[in-house]
Amino acid sequence: MPLIAIIIAGLALAFEQAIQWKYGPMGIIAFVALTIGIKAKNTMFSSIGAVILVMLLAQSG
């Protein structure tokens, strides 16, 4: 079980670094807001994070 937790944490860290590399600090803020909103079961906070991420994705395309 601890091995799975370490692998998942590593994947999350790698994903966070990829977002920061491509979308900068605003991508990190959006990803953190989305993650905190999901963990806290706060739909408003997770929606704000999701909307920011979608806007960043639409802007880059």
| Of the candidates 55, 29, 32, 56, the residue with the CA atom closest to the CA atom of residue 42 | 32
Q: Are 33 and 3 in contact (CB under 8 A)?
A: no
Q: Does the pTM exceed 0.85? A: no
Q: What does the pLDDT look like over 2-45, one tens digit per residue?
A: 888 888 888 888 887 887 788 788 888 888 898 899 889 999 99
- In the structure, what pLDDT confidence band is assigned to residue 60 with cuts at 50, 70 and 90? low
Both tokens of residue 42? 């706060």
Q: What angle do CA 45, 46, 51 make, to 5 degrees?
A: 100
Alpha helices in 1-61 (DSSP H): 2-40, 43-60
